[in-house]
A and B are shown apart, each in its own frame.
Chain A
Amino acid sequence: MTPEQAVVSVETVSAIIDGLEVTVPKGTLIIRAAEQLGIAIPRFCDHPLLAPAGACRQCLVDVEINGRAFPKPQASCTMPVENNMVVKTQNTSPVAAKAQEGIMEFLLINHPLDCPVCDKGGECPLQNQAMSAGRSETRFEGEKRTFEKPINISSQVLLDRERCVLCARCTRFSEEIAGDPFITLNERGALQQVGIYENQPFESYYSGNTVQICPVGALTGASYRFRARPFDLVSVNSACEHCASGCDLRTDIRRGKTLRRLAGDDPAVNQEWNCDKGRWAFKYLTTRERVKSPLVRGSDGELHEASWPEALAAAAAGLKGKRVGVLTGGRLTHEDAYGYSKFARVALGTNDIDFRARPHSDEERDFLAAVVTDLKTSYLDIDKADHVVLLSFEPEEESPIVFLRVYRQVRKRGLLVTSDAPIASRGSQKLNATLVKSALDISGLTSQSVILVGERAAEVEGALSAALELAQSSGAKLAWIPRRAGERGALAAGALGNLLPGNRPVADSAARVDLQSAWGVNSLPTTPGRSTAEILSALNDESLDAVVIGGVDPMDISVDALNQLLNTFVVSLEISHSAVTAIADVVLPVAAVIEKSGSYLDWRGSARRFDKGLEDAELRSDVRILSMLADEMGAPINLPTVSATAREIESLGSWDGAKPTMNKRAYVAPAVEEMTLVSWRFLLDLGTLQLGEANLAGTAKEARAHISSATAATLGVTEADLVVISSDLGSIELPVSIREIADNLVWVPRNSAGSQVIPSLGFASGAVKVAKR
């Protein structure tokens, strides 16, 4: 039961289980009520977040109601508790105990005794419950059912059919939770098995959850299979660094190496699920491209390994007294972003800092400072919504746990969903979303409605203003959901030109004085800072001398970004070699997520803390390095550790003075060109943090150019024919997919194999030429 359910449940029922009275909300299943008394009834198919199946029959108990006993044991996972019910579990009923022992014996007759080589051995519900509820010796002397093993049901999930106990958790998850019924049970009797469709592999963004909830070792992840024994693993609590959904994760480490990540249990956020990117994309931590030692560019023009004192001295020399910009990227923890923010103001004396390493606008900066800092919309609001509006936001691709939450309500009660997407994505189709042109076309919202705005709204002038207007006029709840995990934290930390930490407006002298006294500094820069694009152009025209760059991929911003950095002094804080480190003057290696502690602020603005997984990791968090650098520059920021930083953030608190107001812009519909490119990213694509995980990449969606049938006819192409999409800068070549989309639009994924839009075409959306190849 999740906390929010507890709030709405009022009617309760009481029953006796094994002689103990229990009172539970009406509708609670016997097996759940027993859990509340500490009575564990063995089970396989039962899962609290899936609809009851009653398939495995392991949880049989004796039940009587009003003194009348059921003639045979009942499945406690399907029967709700009622008043005057008396339940006897295996603890008090010999009949129930024998029934359970019988079922366990049946489950084991066709199950291989390969626990010593099975990944699940040591954390296996079948193994554990066979010990607690099974016989010590088998009575089965016959032949076991065998299957060819294993089969790949996708590039990342393997199935050993002979181990399967056919509980249908995986198939029910895929259908009920993910809306991707790509696996199903087929055949019958003892030959029943999980299978995929002939021409449709198990390509769901959520497939890893099936591995996690499999109560035996039938489903395994290709990247973890045969890698470890559960009892050799050390588990640490972590938060997902991949998106702003805010998933609670568990990271399992063996001898200093991360071997797997699992969805953690947080009913208010990810429940018990996560997406495949969060589960499997962690190989970037151990790639050969990791920067392990500081690097300084020598007089020979090459980067050379250097000691920390040398590197810090070189960086300080290049920055001190110079006009410096700071680009942090969207992947920082709240503490690290705070470090950059304070470093910029105190050590560099500038507000030229921006976390937005993507297409952005001044309107967005105003919106972030004036509106987003106050937003408190939560998952619970989605649960209760009468209407969810998606503006420039594709939840399944850009914040997959938000998608699961919306989908759950769509499935449960037909929640109304409206999207301003130019084409119905698979996610939109699953949500049964109505497509409209823009926020201006939406009406009928109430205070129960929820508007979810994505970061791509910055790409259309007036879109954020229109979203705000819609929320204000209807009373609907508003949320801004960026793609990256660090953006909301960076906003709170003031890694933005017009905002200081704790939402203090740069332009407000009282806010500045407040911060000055907290920081113990005499002055803070008063000029509002430049945006990312302005910083880059200032570096290019030498109105800025140097730049400090966090985890930024210039190609996420613009095709010119990297060139604009060429003739300037660049200090790069990075985890891996990149286009930026290649041109940097000083490279300072920093810790990645499992090597440090910290917190992200998810889209709700709530902290998602995580612990350091690798105790002996040598690399330090960005904030620690910036603090050393500031010391070296003689302008200390006094943030020696992540925990000290967290304490400072806490004590600084949030500004309660006057807020900046949003200067709304008129909505300007994107120009109608002969052919206009529109795009967003797929969840699984060429993103930096997905490096090195081929199994995961194997389930990425294929890039195709989506055009209307009329456009296809004009071009003389049919499904899967190649088209060339070109701009003045270059072109991409993709197979065609004919879809329902306006005739003058072509949709492509923004950063997928064969479709890297910004580097190839120079923009993420705009006028293009499309021709048959």
Chain B
Amino acid sequence: MSTLTPILSAHWNEADSFTMASYKRHGGYKAIETALKSTPDEVIAQIKESGLRGRGGAGFPTGSKWGFIPQGDNKAHYLVVNADESEPGTCKDIPLLLANPHVLIEGIIIGSYAIRANHSFIYLRGEVVHVFRRVQKAIEDAYAAGLLGKNILGSGFDLELTLHAGAGAYICGEETALLDSLEGFRGQPRLRPPFPAIAGLYAMPTVVNNVESIASVPSIINSGVEWFQSMGTEKSKGYTLYSLSGHVANPGQFEAPLGITLREILELAGGIRAGHQLKFWTPGGSSTPMFTAEHLDVPLDYEGVSAAGSMLGTKALQIFDETTCVVRAVLRWVEFYKHESCGKCTPCREGTWWLVQMLKDLEAGKGTEADLEKLLDLCDNIAGRSFCALADGAVSPIISSLKYFRSEYITHLTNGGCPFDPVASTLFETAGA
């Protein structure tokens, strides 16, 4: 039985957890002293060896990504932190930045040093103004303490850190759209190649990392590769933040070793809300194919979730009990993707427009079973046909819900409408709860 391993979240319950004083009190900013004494290549090697993989969804090994940056090319290098957390259900980076922004800053210093970047950027979701202020204050404090700017801690290493607020587009979480947006253009994904490691921000070699990935770096430097590898599973090393939301007794962020199961997390979270049963859930946000109660023991690591037919994604565990209409839930998600489609490519732009109309009809009980086949065929024409992965995410709840809950769709059609009482699924509803 896995238990929680609070590292990033260890001190979130302290009133001043977001301050530099608190961070230092708990051993913060020690890792950069160690890192700055090593060579950049040694830092990259350490992160590579640790097995740390990207926590933003794709799970690409962080150290390898750093290693792709050409060295000695006399070009500016950039480290860009993707803090545009917008995936429905995902709430780990925002709480982390709110409660402990300094761990990210320390990670950025180490990462920038490793890839020989002298300017780093945090691209923060624009809607979270309170987090923006907090991170901004943390950066100011870091500058004041000589941890950013020229000649950090006398090491000769210079680093500028810029905090940039997005303007409210989900697509800007896609790394190349993020770079376009950061450069001042409309956020739309770029053609690859060239990949950001060769021509990223301002056409210079660039690493784009998720907040949690970078925030995990100081702990690896401090406690060592072996310590990090002692957690997690064979190919998914270390600890991570799972964000649990929906029909559970105690939703929130659960920091645990990779490979923990939902059954274990639910136990830690006090279970499904009283009197109800699990109906379906997402392992990594709404863009990952949904799971049901039969997947309670799937190890929540990159390989385990993948083997069960979904993706670990952002580890956003959205929990739905039996009061939830799956058609309605899927419609809501697809409406989100339609709203967020950037419009660049045809299948995503036009496909989501059409899917929403079909799902609305199905939810209202209009249509026939043949429409379900049509719906799946449209999904087949969208998935893997679009410019970036946004559209893949848009169709995965449809395909997976039809896999597990096809009869519920049919019930809508035979019933002439939705058989569920939408109020029963709300958290403010207590009568049936």
Chain A residues within 8 Å of B, Cβ to Cβ: 52-58, 60, 71-73, 78, 98-99, 101-103, 105-107, 109-110, 139-140, 142-143, 145, 165-166, 184-192
Inter-chain contacts of B350 with A (CB < 8 A): 106-107, 109-110, 190
In the bound assembly, the distance between CA atoms of A103 and B347 in angstroms comes to: 6
Q: Report if A110-B385 is in contact (Cβ < 8 Å); known contacts: A54-B191, A187-B343, A190-B341.
A: no
In the bound assembly, the distance between CA atoms of A107 and B348 in angstroms comes to: 11
Judge whether B247 is part of the interface by a CB distance below 8 angstroms: no
Residue of B nearest to A107 (CB): B346
In the bound assembly, the distance between CA atoms of A309 and B244 in angstroms comes to: 99
Judge whether B340 is part of the interface by a CB distance below 8 angstroms: yes
B317-340 at interface with A (beta carbon < 8 Å):
338-340
In the bound assembly, the distance between CA atoms of A110 and B350 in angstroms comes to: 7
Inter-chain contacts of B381 with A (CB < 8 A): 98-99, 101-103, 105-106
Judge whether B357 is part of the interface by a CB distance below 8 angstroms: yes
Q: Report if A103-B385 is in contact (Cβ < 8 Å); known contacts: A57-B346, A142-B357.
A: yes
Inter-chain contacts of B349 with A (CB < 8 A): 106, 166, 189-190, 192
A109 touches B354 (CB 8 A): yes
Judge whether B133 is part of the interface by a CB distance below 8 angstroms: no
Inter-chain contacts of B191 with A (CB < 8 A): 52-54, 78
Inter-chain contacts of A184 with B (CB < 8 A): 186
Inter-chain contacts of A52 with B (CB < 8 A): 191
Residue of B nearest to A108 (CB): B350
Chain B residues within 8 Å of A, Cβ to Cβ: 169, 171, 186, 191, 338-347, 349-354, 357-358, 361, 374, 378, 380-382, 384-387
Q: Pick the residue among A107, A109, A189 that contacts B343 (CB under 8 A).
A: A189
Question: In the complex, given contacts A54-B191, A189-B343, what are 9 additional A-B residue pairs having Cβ atoms less than 8 angstroms apart?
Answer: A56-B346, A73-B384, A103-B381, A106-B346, A109-B353, A142-B358, A188-B340, A190-B353, A191-B343
Q: Pick the residue among A56, A72, A185 that contacts B186 (CB under 8 A).
A: A185
Inter-chain contacts of B338 with A (CB < 8 A): 189-190
CB distance from B60 to the nearest CB of A (A): 17
CB distance from B365 to the nearest CB of A (A): 15
Inter-chain contacts of A110 with B (CB < 8 A): 350, 353
A55 touches B387 (CB 8 A): yes
Residue of B nearest to A193 (CB): B343
CB distance from B72 to the nearest CB of A (A): 24
B345 touches A140 (CB 8 A): no
Inter-chain contacts of A186 with B (CB < 8 A): 186
Inter-chain contacts of B345 with A (CB < 8 A): 54-57
In the bound assembly, the distance between CA atoms of A186 and B186 in angstroms comes to: 8
In the bound assembly, the distance between CA atoms of A581 and B361 in angstroms comes to: 73
Inter-chain contacts of B344 with A (CB < 8 A): 55, 166, 192
Residue of A nearest to B354 (CB): A109
In the bound assembly, the distance between CA atoms of A339 and B382 in angstroms comes to: 65
In the bound assembly, the distance between CA atoms of A187 and B354 in angstroms comes to: 18
In the bound assembly, the distance between CA atoms of A625 and B386 in angstroms comes to: 64
In the bound assembly, the distance between CA atoms of A733 and B167 in angstroms comes to: 46
Instruction: Specify which of A142, A165, A189 lies most central, judged by the most chain B CB atoms within 10 Å of its CB.
Output: A189
In the bound assembly, the distance between CA atoms of A53 and B191 in angstroms comes to: 7
Inter-chain contacts of A105 with B (CB < 8 A): 381
Inter-chain contacts of B387 with A (CB < 8 A): 54-55, 57
Q: Report if A106-B343 is in contact (Cβ < 8 Å); known contacts: A52-B191, A55-B387, A57-B385.
A: no
In the bound assembly, the distance between CA atoms of A99 and B345 in angstroms comes to: 14
Inter-chain contacts of A56 with B (CB < 8 A): 345-346
CB distance from A293 to the nearest CB of B (A): 57
Q: Pick the residue among A60, A71, A192 that contacts B385 (CB under 8 A).
A: A60
CB distance from A43 to the nearest CB of B (A): 12
Instruction: Specify which of B354, B361, B380 lies most central, judged by the most chain A CB atoms within 10 Å of its CB.
Output: B354
Q: Pick the residue among B346, B382, B385 that contacts A165 (CB under 8 A).
A: B346
CB distance from B169 to the nearest CB of A (A): 7
* A to B CB contacts below 8 Å, 12 in the list: A56-B345, A60-B385, A72-B384, A73-B384, A98-B381, A106-B351, A142-B361, A166-B344, A166-B346, A188-B342, A189-B342, A190-B350
Q: Report if A106-B386 is in contact (Cβ < 8 Å); known contacts: A53-B191, A55-B344, A166-B349.
A: no
Residue of B nearest to A51 (CB): B191
Q: Report if A106-B342 is in contact (Cβ < 8 Å); known contacts: A99-B381, A142-B354, A145-B353.
A: no
Q: Pick the residue among B169, B339, B343, B347 that contacts A192 (CB under 8 A).
A: B343
In the bound assembly, the distance between CA atoms of A58 and B386 in angstroms comes to: 10
Q: Report if A185-B343 is in contact (Cβ < 8 Å); known contacts: A98-B381, A103-B381, A145-B353.
A: yes
CB distance from B358 to the nearest CB of A (A): 7
CB distance from A46 to the nearest CB of B (A): 12
Inter-chain contacts of A191 with B (CB < 8 A): 343
Q: Report if A189-B385 is in contact (Cβ < 8 Å); known contacts: A78-B191, A143-B357.
A: no
In the bound assembly, the distance between CA atoms of A371 and B5 in angstroms comes to: 85
CB distance from A578 to the nearest CB of B (A): 50
Inter-chain contacts of B169 with A (CB < 8 A): 188
B343 touches A102 (CB 8 A): no
Residue of B nearest to A101 (CB): B381
Residue of A nearest to B386 (CB): A57
Q: Report if A166-B343 is in contact (Cβ < 8 Å); known contacts: A190-B353, A192-B349.
A: yes
CB distance from B433 to the nearest CB of A (A): 36
Inter-chain contacts of B378 with A (CB < 8 A): 102
In the bound assembly, the distance between CA atoms of A165 and B384 in angstroms comes to: 20
Inter-chain contacts of A106 with B (CB < 8 A): 346-347, 349-351, 354, 381
Q: Pick the residue among B171, B340, B374 that contacts A139 (CB under 8 A).
A: B374
What are the 3 closest A-B residue pairs judged by CB atoms, nearest first?
A: A102-B381, A192-B343, A72-B384
Residue of B nearest to A99 (CB): B385
Q: Pick the residue among B341, B361, B374 that contacts A189 (CB under 8 A).
A: B341
A188 touches B346 (CB 8 A): no
Residue of A nearest to B352 (CB): A189
In the bound assembly, the distance between CA atoms of A142 and B351 in angstroms comes to: 12
Residue of B nearest to A44 (CB): B346
CB distance from A403 to the nearest CB of B (A): 26
Residue of B nearest to A144 (CB): B353
Residue of A nearest to B391 (CB): A57
In the bound assembly, the distance between CA atoms of A143 and B346 in angstroms comes to: 17
CB distance from B37 to the nearest CB of A (A): 42
CB distance from B232 to the nearest CB of A (A): 27
Q: Report if A190-B384 is in contact (Cβ < 8 Å); known contacts: A142-B357, A185-B186.
A: no
Instruction: Specify which of A52, A103, A140, A188 lies most central, judged by the most chain B CB atoms within 10 Å of its CB.
Output: A188
CB distance from B132 to the nearest CB of A (A): 23
In the bound assembly, the distance between CA atoms of A460 and B343 in angstroms comes to: 54
In the bound assembly, the distance between CA atoms of A55 and B344 in angstroms comes to: 6
Residue of B nearest to A105 (CB): B381
CB distance from B397 to the nearest CB of A (A): 18
Q: Report if A189-B347 is in contact (Cβ < 8 Å); known contacts: A57-B385, A99-B381.
A: no
CB distance from A514 to the nearest CB of B (A): 60
Inter-chain contacts of B346 with A (CB < 8 A): 55-58, 103, 106-107, 165-166
Inter-chain contacts of A55 with B (CB < 8 A): 344-346, 387
CB distance from B227 to the nearest CB of A (A): 37
B342 touches A71 (CB 8 A): no
CB distance from B346 to the nearest CB of A (A): 5
B354 touches A140 (CB 8 A): yes
In the bound assembly, the distance between CA atoms of A352 and B232 in angstroms comes to: 96
In the bound assembly, the distance between CA atoms of A140 and B353 in angstroms comes to: 11
In the bound assembly, the distance between CA atoms of A109 and B338 in angstroms comes to: 15
In the bound assembly, the distance between CA atoms of A766 and B116 in angstroms comes to: 59
Q: Report if A71-B384 is in contact (Cβ < 8 Å); known contacts: A78-B191, A189-B340, A189-B342.
A: yes
In the bound assembly, the distance between CA atoms of A78 and B387 in angstroms comes to: 11
Inter-chain contacts of B353 with A (CB < 8 A): 109-110, 145, 189-190
Residue of B nearest to A56 (CB): B346
Instruction: Specify which of B169, B191, B349, B381 lies most central, judged by the most chain A CB atoms within 10 Å of its CB.
Output: B349
In the bound assembly, the distance between CA atoms of A107 and B351 in angstroms comes to: 9
In the bound assembly, the distance between CA atoms of A60 and B346 in angstroms comes to: 12
Instruction: Specify which of B353, B358, B384 lies most central, judged by the most chain A CB atoms within 10 Å of its CB.
Output: B353
Residue of A nearest to B381 (CB): A102
CB distance from B254 to the nearest CB of A (A): 33
